[in-house]
Amino acid sequence: MTDYTLNCRGMQCPGPIMELFKQMKAAAPGDTAAISVTDMGFKKDIEVWCRKTKNTLVSLTEDAGVITAVVRKG
């Protein structure tokens, strides 16, 4: 199991989900990626992204304008 970290702060839509998509494509099932984003739309986007791509949203937190999501492949 590998835990990836993606820093997508300052990136605008659709940058973060594109980065996450590429990372998850390269990852093995069970791997996780922690992605930090400052785009406010990401909070809603990530839930839909996980549902549509059949990945698991492990956690979603927000601190001082930074949204951090942990996503597990599969």
Partner 1 sequence: MSEDKKTIVVFSGDLDKAMAAMIIASGAAAMGNEVTLFFTFWGLNLLRRPEPVSVKKNFLEAMFGWMMPLGARRATLSKLHMGGMGTAMMKYVMKTKNVATPEALLHDAMEMGVKFIACSMSMDVMGIKPEELIDGVEIGGVATYLGSADDANVNLFI
- Enumerate binding residues for partner 1 (CB under 8 A): 10-15, 17-18, 20-21, 25, 49, 52-54
Could you tell me the smallest distance in angstroms from the CB atom of residue 71 to partner 1? 13
Q: How far is CA 29 from CA 2, 10, 61, in A?
A: 10, 28, 23
Widest Cα–Cα separation across the chain: 31
Nearer to partner 1 by Cβ, of 11 and 70: the residue is: 11
Tell me which of 3, 12, 13, 74 is the catalytic residue: 13
Active site residues: 13
